[in-house]
Structure 1
Amino acid sequence: MATWSKYSFLFRKGGHHFLYSSLSNSFALLDSDTYGTLLKLRDGNQAVEIDSEVMSTLNQMQVVNVDEDMVLNQIRFISQQRKFNHESLHLTINPTLSCNFDCPYCFEASHPNSFMTDEVENNIVSFVEHKDSLKHLSIMWFGGEPLLGFRRIQSLTKRLIDIVPSYSASMISKGYLLTPDVVSCLEELKISMIQITLDGLADSHDKKRCLKSGAPTFDRIIRNISYCIENAPSVRIVIRVNIDANNMDDYLMVYDYFVSKGIKCVDVVPGFIVDREHDIPTCAFNNKQIVNFMCTLFHNHHIKPISFFPSIMRNSCSARNINSLVIGPEGELYKCWEEVGRKEYVVGNLADTSYNRELMLKYTTGIDQLDDNKCVDCGLLPICDGGCPRVRMLNKYEGRHLETCHLLKDGMDELLYCHYLSKNN
């Protein structure tokens, strides 16, 4: 006798029949007879006869006969193990909050133009040195515009690399200051990825992402990207195109631009504008709109902006982890880079040992998805880590009602069907 697991899903799309298990993250194409049989089993008919070979496959996929209490215990164990892992340290470092751009929508626009001092650099190095169990350190250079503090990046990197056995780095930059001198240093700085935002082509981009003087930036950014690809081929360039319900065509235009110019080795990804201020956003995307956008790009233009297929705990955010921190230019500590510059979200400072214990506990344990009945009861829990921790904080402690669910919640049929088509094209 077989019992259907709540982590298993049947659906039909495009004349095909499919089975997906979030527990094993496996996906299968079914014939119509097997699909009909499994529908009966799913709906509680225990009298259905299932071929032994099919039953073996169902067990391998963990579609049936699942101990769901054991699953929850395993997810909790993995989650706690990741939260309190002391062998890896992830730091998002802001060498400055200053910026050379004047973007009207920027959530950092009101931040002070402070730069990191030697004292703060020394405190960062000391902080890392005292992590006795540390085996890997990963750095995300952030700002402001981090390249305004490039010398600080160089000096800090040189010191940090000597401390840990394994070191990696990436950067989020406007791209305007990605000069030949900077590019020549990327390899020794171990910066393997740089994310650069383009808000459409030149006319649109230069209105939204101009210099403080009002001067345009698009053409120079493109030249810098081309130079970086040519002279630092090991650095992955990710182009983010911020889009909302009013400018969805900008993504396709930017994508086509790079193709038409023959600029290869660049990933062009949509940056979906998410409204953290309103429970019912006006022009920002919700999950259904994101799914529709991605699937339309695939069907109409054969573009896969991001993977249609999930990975286990793909939404896991390091903000939950005790060994993940955001460091401001004055040595102040945060859990999320959206909170940088906001005093109410400071969890500590490298200059002393004091911590905002209440806020740290909220992030590490207060918003645990396994304390949320909605998450525990959800069949997609094994591939979802409860969504964005900051959003969960806003929902639980500030009474908000923002989306936290995985994209498959609203678009399993569409996304997995696109995955199937992409694998069988």
Structure 2
Amino acid sequence: MNVAIHPNVKFAKGNEFALNVATGVITYLSNEHKKRILELKDGESRIEPIDISLLSNEVLIIKNHLENHKINLESKISDYLNNAAAICIMPTEKCNFRCTYCYESFEKGKMGENTINSIIKYIQKNAKLYNFFNLSWFGGEPLLQYQIIKRISQEFRNQQLLNKFTGSISVTTNGSLLTEEVVRELSDVDINLIQISIDGPPEIHDKQRITYNQKGTYHTILANMEYALRNSNSHFTLRINLDTTNSNNYKAVADWLEEDISKRFQEFGTRVEIRVVSIWNATNTSIEGICIQDEERLIKYLRVKSILSKTNNQFLEQYAQEVSQIGSLACYAGKPNHYIVGSDGTLYKCTVALKLEDNILGFIKENGDLSIDETKEAKWTKLNSLTDPQCNKCSFSQSCMGIHCPLTRMQTNSQPCPTHKKFIDSILAFEPYAHSH
């Protein structure tokens, strides 16, 4: 019986350790293991005693098992894509902020009564069809219309109790309107997943995330977030939009994370997840730079992100966990049964390119059914790691699924590979942890 390197495994420079990107298992390699890996990189070999531990950690795989491995992985991806649904609702497309990098035009206002009723009927019809069904709120600034949020979310929770599906309700908000009343209203319908953005210390944040009348927002957002954490069971994703083209900014953000934010929210444990994201350019019809394209910017990004780890080893473990979760690097826009509903009832796949003709799929009917241009929808969902031969062979097929950014695929006619894959060699060789063992 022959053994080969597992198709999901990536090796650090010099073979210091192996990372299985489908399981998140990190295996530190002895000198004997390194020699064995070098032998196997040229092909396959009969099983040797040294292979036993590497087989158990899925660094190596029995050659005869490769086909079953592929079949099982494809089945797992298929189940994920077909048994889940999500609806993202924009109760208004107006906003009280004018962030400097925002792509929205704020033309449409409050959602009308007919659209609200149509969405409720859609939820009632679809609640029994899926094992997983998520509801999210987006804008504009969705909390400008928090009563609409509460009304539809209440029906979602009713249907969840009735149909027993797994699902969450989340809100992406700028955080300025998380007042005592709003926090209480959201808690009433168990909306406990909230994403807000704070882009760094006040001198950076208050230049980027400003109100429509050019006022700073840093202190208001932090105060509201802390109130919500102390007075509800909310879990927060604190998103930091990092300008990796600006050396001064990234250093200031790194210091701020280490000296202020990490300590400020330490008492709340896992209820606060800090997520660093490189600022990317977007318009109403296209998206550019969603992935970091050069190594210099990547290293800046990694240096800031690594501060969130308590130890060097933990940084690698967090990265491994991130890339190993099914669908973790896949965009909602490439998934079937995932839709955006604009404030006027227009249906989209992507929250970014709202004026792109291929993104305007149709509308929600009064009876809760969706009127969809299937030809347009197929441009978003047809190609993935099950249907694209190149993505099908990729070790990131479980997390990326070939739909990291369907819009990139549509506009460049190429596979939308995530930064995690493009720069995996640099990521695994990143200085804070590469030599920690």
TM band (smaller chain)? 0.7 to 0.9
Separation in 2, partners of 1:92, 1:145: 13
The alignment status of 1:388 with 2:391, answered yes or no, reads: no
Q: 1:281-292, aligned counterparts within 5 Å?
A: 285-286=292-293, 288-289=295-296, 291-292=298-299
Separation in 1, partners of 2:279, 2:180: 32
| TM-score w.r.t. length of structure 2 | 0.82
Separation in 2, partners of 1:284, 1:370: 23
Equivalence for 1:364:
381
Change beyond 3 A, Cα 1:276–1:402: farther
Residue by residue over 1:64-96, the C-alpha shift from the partner in whole angstroms, topping out at 9 and shown as x without a partner, is 3244444443333333332222xx431111100
The alignment status of 1:338 with 2:352, answered yes or no, reads: yes
Equivalence for 1:106:
102
Give the one of 52, 55, 77 matched to 1:55. 52
Question: Unpaired runs of 5+ in structure 1?
Answer: none
Deviation at 1:324, TM superposition (A): 1.4
Separation in 2, partners of 1:381, 1:188: 39
The alignment status of 1:155 with 2:190, answered yes or no, reads: no
Equivalence for 1:146:
142
Change beyond 3 A, Cα 1:419–1:332: farther
- Paired residue secondary structure (1:143): coil
| Cα root mean square deviation, aligned | 3.4
| 1:142 and 1:171 in contact (8 A); partners too | yes
Q: 1:265-280, aligned counterparts within 5 Å?
A: 265=268, 266-275=272-281
Equivalence for 2:42:
43
| 1:22 and 1:379 in contact (8 A); partners too | yes
Change beyond 3 A, Cα 1:372–1:289: farther
Equivalence for 1:89:
85
| TM-score w.r.t. length of structure 1 | 0.84
- Paired residue secondary structure (2:371): coil
The alignment status of 1:123 with 2:97, answered yes or no, reads: no
Separation in 1, partners of 2:298, 2:138: 29
Deviation at 1:272, TM superposition (A): 1.4
- Paired residue secondary structure (1:140): strand
Residue by residue over 1:21-46, the C-alpha shift from the partner in whole angstroms, topping out at 9 and shown as x without a partner, is 34554331221022202311222374
Separation in 2, partners of 1:221, 1:374: 44
The alignment status of 1:238 with 2:237, answered yes or no, reads: yes
* Greater alpha carbon shift after TM alignment, 118-127 vs 20-29: 20-29
Change beyond 3 A, Cα 1:362–1:90: same
Separation in 2, partners of 1:321, 1:301: 30
Residue by residue over 1:190-230, the C-alpha shift from the partner in whole angstroms, topping out at 9 and shown as x without a partner, is 11221111122222222222111122211211211121122
Separation in 2, partners of 1:218, 1:279: 27
Change beyond 3 A, Cα 1:135–1:29: closer
Question: Unpaired runs of 5+ in structure 2?
Answer: none
The alignment status of 1:248 with 2:250, answered yes or no, reads: yes
Separation in 1, partners of 2:304, 2:192: 28
Separation in 2, partners of 1:305, 1:56: 21
Equivalence for 1:178:
178
Calculate percent identity across the aligned residue pairs.
22
Change beyond 3 A, Cα 1:44–1:305: closer
| 1:241 and 1:250 in contact (8 A); partners too | no
Residue by residue over 1:358-403, the C-alpha shift from the partner in whole angstroms, topping out at 9 and shown as x without a partner, is 11122222x2234434323434434431242334xx33x3335685
| 1:138 and 1:168 in contact (8 A); partners too | yes
Equivalence for 2:339:
325
Equivalent residue letter for 2:299? N
Q: How many residues align?
A: 412
| 2:77 and 2:398 in contact (8 A); partners too | no
